[in-house]
Structure 1
Amino acid sequence: MRLDPGAAGDLNLDRVDLFDLDLFTSGDPHAIWELMRAKAPLHRQVLSDGREFWSVTRYDDVCRVLGDHQEFTSERGTVVTHLGVDDVAAGKLLTSTDPPRHTQVRRAIGARLTARAVAPWADRIRQAIVRFLEPALDGGTWDLAEQALLLPAMVTGPLLGIPERDWDELVQLTAMVTAPSDPHFQHGSEAATLAISHHELLTYITDWVKRRRSAAAGDGSLLDHLMSVRAGDMPLTDEEIALDGYSILLGANVTTPHTVSGTVLALIERPAQFAKAQAHPSLVPNLVEEGLRWTSAACNFMRYAVNDTRIGGGTIPAGGAAVAWIGSANRDESHFPDPHEFDITRNGAKRQVAFGFGPHFCIGAPLARLTLRLFFEELLQRFASIGLDGEPQHLRSCFIAGMTHLPVVARKRKMP
């Protein structure tokens, strides 16, 4: 189903299937979300197996669901692919824990990921980005989306304490977690793909913890830092360290590649925006914010209503799953005028909620922003132009909005 924004017309929202992966690979969910914001800001869907969920699509409602843990809990699960199955890691995994415990653990981990803390890493990150871009400078076809999957590992692998020999495997496993139905990452059924990837990732971190326990001294990495984190008066257990390490790996590897490729595609399709960014490097930070808004790589997050809760003109019953559509909130016309225009000079682009909102706002956002800023600085400095050399191919997922293929040809910029 492909619809242009504003052209959804008289589409029957009772028949809309937001779990239909074709909507995200070959369709246009933005047209659906636009209609939902206007006519059904609280939308109930029942799946064929009887599971049900309530969607919120307006910016303010999305922020409320994500921001108020007393109304909407994270402790039954936060990912739509787990709808209807309570998270066995609730209360242990940082992303599936509510305050106050969540706040205690997050504060200890986040101290290593503030903008000030990550600033000294800039030179190392820039060097990794230069190495990443080098193959595109020969003028041949380069699949940016495919290659970008490895970019976060190149950037954060050394910071996390993960050896280069493990990067490819971990990138593959994290992709399997977030897009278990995509043929590029699927191993057997969706359930089998999730089971394999969860098991392998947790085993990797668990083994890492065991090795660090037996080592004479820490290596100063972020994963090493997890071993000193305390929740209240108690240190994290090895299981909790493994779960939070797993979460950090997912966060580091999953969304940044798709923000990169989606923003580059937006610039390819709008040469004037590319030229403007190149002529005015001071616009790069705002380009990053607009790219985050535009791509909304983390398409949604899920919470469960604690009590019967009025929102969006309706009621989510106690225990009901509330899916907050980030991609819709970031195109809400009441907060972003001309939301379907990609504009690197947009006022208020930083209000985007691509990193989430509230207690679970992405803990790695400062590092992601730094990485994206350095990426686009280097790309604009090195490339005179970028063009498509084939059709983009979208990720088959209703959770992560991104691409698996983006073949491009870049023309090297003559340096002054």
Structure 2
Amino acid sequence: MRITAACHGPECDLGAVDLSDHDFYATGDPHPVWAHMRRHAPVHLSTLPDGRSFWSVTRYHDVDAVLRDHTRFTSSKGTLLSVLGGTDPAGNKMMAASDPPVHTALRKPMSKVLSHRALQPHNPQVRRVVHRMLAPLLDGGVWDIAEAGARFPMAFTGTLMGLPEEDWEQLARLTTAAIAPQDAGYRRSEGHGTLAAAHHELFAYFSGQVRRRRRDPGDNLVGFLVGMEADGRALRHDELVYNCYSLLLGANVTTPHAVAATVLALIENPREWDRWRAGLSLTSTAVEEGLRWSSPANHFMRHATRDMVLRGQPIQEGDAVVAWLGSANRDEEVFADPYRFDIARSPNRHVAFGFGPHYCVGAPLARIALGALFRVLVPAVERFTLAGPVEHLASNFAAGIKSLPLTARLSPEAARAIGAAVAEDGPVIV
């Protein structure tokens, strides 16, 4: 998805825009549309040609209200536009597709093993992954950071979940196909065939993993889920499969797109790159700005549990309500100069990980991974240069870049350090 640096130009015709269209995010630009909606139609009803409809919410505080209040907006009927008008089979079985108390019972034990403190022992593994990810820069050739980034999370999430390394590349591809089924690089058939096939393969894979962990749990996240109790009972087989899928999907659609979009923003704003290289203490705030800027999870959907009025619009019980995170993170009422990439931005209460009870349980892992990557990347690379066209992912959910070819000029010290780390640790699938 293109990330507009500023919104100028004529007002748009909302009747001619389909925010559910995957291709719009590959070839179009939603930011002028969202800016128009924030100004003139912050709660807007879209009706698709097949009769399905959804309300779009684009202002920060309205997005907050929709995502935070599960009593008025339920997650149990589906949280993505891909299930609009249908029934989500994972409803009240998967943490992401449930409301309290079911959601709370699932989340509480998971949040303990995915907390920042619990993940600290894995920092050396993440750093090793970062060094090996950067190894192609050593020969001075073209390096596609988007392609490398797409496989980046698997190298530590796969390890955390206890998934065999030889499966990582295929799992990364399947999770992307699940959120970008209309993208030419992932589409297998017309209609919903690609999505159905990706889900079938992922669910079958995790079904096998769950059966294996029942015999030998091991010290990994899948084994933890198998032995976990929610509200005093063990999880059923289908609940285990859905939640394994959800954890992997969340990792694979957030971190890589934040990496590519942040690097592209730094190429387009070289002063910020120089500023960051001059002060690595800015890494934490810079990572947060990269998350705000990229907003990798583009939307979350809820359904109204009762009739209500939101900003003067009558919403009926059962209506689908879509909260656009990318728009909320550019809301002029909350962010000063929101179309400026500022690595020292403060305050920066972005919503890249959502709001409220469904705030991303994997956020600590994403922050650890992004921080580790940029703490190596920023001092290592003196300058990035684009080496080809930027290609955007056709997905209404993931604001993704699927190709970002670069060349880089490494500092001599960084080149030696990366080379030594790679020589010591050996190859890995990234």
Tell me if TM exceeds 0.5.
yes
Q: CA RMSD in A?
A: 1.5
Specify the alignment match of 1:253 in structure 2. Answer: 252
Tell me if structure 2 keeps the 8 A contact 1:125–1:371: yes
Q: Which moved more, 1:303-312 or 1:31-40?
A: 303-312
The whole-number CA distance in structure 2 between the counterparts of 1:238 and 1:362 is: 23
Return the letter of the residue paired with 2:127.
Answer: R
Match of 2:35 in 1: 34
Q: Which runs of 4+ in 1 moved over 6 A?
A: 1-4
Q: Which moved more, 1:31-40 or 1:2-11?
A: 2-11
> Which residue in 1 is equivalent to 2:131?
130
Please tell me the residue identity of whatever aligns with 1:269: E
Which residue matches 2:168?
A: 167
Structure 1 residue 4, shift from structure 2 partner: 7.1
| Separation in 1, partners of 2:201, 2:7 | 43
CA distance in 1, matches of 2:246, 2:9: 37
2:337 is aligned to 338
Q: Do structure 1's residue 301 and structure 2's residue 314 form an aligned pair?
A: no
Where does residue 205 of structure 1 map in the other structure?
206
Query: Which residue of structure 2 aligns with residue 239 of structure 1?
Result: 238
Summarize the Cα distance change of 1:21–1:245 in structure 2 as closer, same or farther, 3 Å threshold: closer
Q: Per-residue deviation at 1:311?
A: 1.6
Q: Are 2:304 and 2:320, in contact at CA under 8 Å, matched by a contact in 1? A: yes
Q: Deviations over 1:306-350 (max 9, x none)?
A: 01122233122110000000000000011101100101011112x
Cα gap change, 1:365 to 1:4, in 2 (>3 Å) = closer
Structure 2 length as normaliser, TM-score? Answer: 0.94
Over 3 Å counting, the alpha-carbon distance change for 1:381 and 1:190 in structure 2 is farther
Matches within 5 A, 1:272-287: 272-287=271-286
CA distance in 2, matches of 1:340, 1:137: 34
Does the residue aligned with 1:60 lie in a helix, a strand or coil? helix
Query: What code does the residue aligned with 2:361 have?
Result: I
Q: Name the CA distance, whole Å, in 1 between partners of 2:312 and 2:278.
A: 46
In structure 1, list runs of 5 or more residues that go unmatched. none
Deviation at 1:398, TM superposition (A): 1.2
Alignment of 1:3-152 (within 5 A): 5-152=6-153
**Contact 1:300 1:325 (8 Å CA) reproduced:** yes
Q: How many residues align?
A: 413
CA offset at residue 155 of structure 1?
A: 2.0
CA distance in structure 1 between the aligned counterparts of 2:398 and 2:138, rounded to whole angstroms: 29
Alignment correspondent of 1:153: 154
Q: Secondary structure at the match of 1:149?
A: helix
Partners of 2:291 and 2:275 lie apart in 1 by 18
Cα deviation, 1:100-141, whole Å, max 9, x if unaligned, reads: 111011001111011111111111111111111111222100
Report the equivalent of 1:395: 393
Q: Which runs of 5+ in 2 are unaligned?
A: 415-430
Amino acid at match of 1:268: I
> Contact between 1:8 and 1:32, CA under 8 Å: does it hold in 2?
no
Supply the distance in 2 between the matched residues of 1:409 and 1:138 (Cα, whole angstroms). 10
> In percent, how many aligned pairs have the same letter?
46
1:230-274 C-alpha deviation (Å, 9 max, x unpaired): 121211011111110011110111111100000000001111101
How many Å separate the matches in 1 of 2:212 and 2:229? 20
Preserved CA contact (<8 Å) 2:46 2:55: yes
The question of whether the paired residues in 1 share the 8 Å contact of 2:254 and 2:366 is answered with: no
Is structure 2 residue 361 aligned with structure 1 residue 360?
Answer: no
Letter in 2 for 1:62: V
- TM-aligned CA deviation for residue 10 of structure 1: 3.0
Per the alignment, residue 268 of structure 2 pairs with 269
Range with bigger deviation, 258-267 or 406-415: 406-415
- State the shift of 1:26 in Å: 2.0
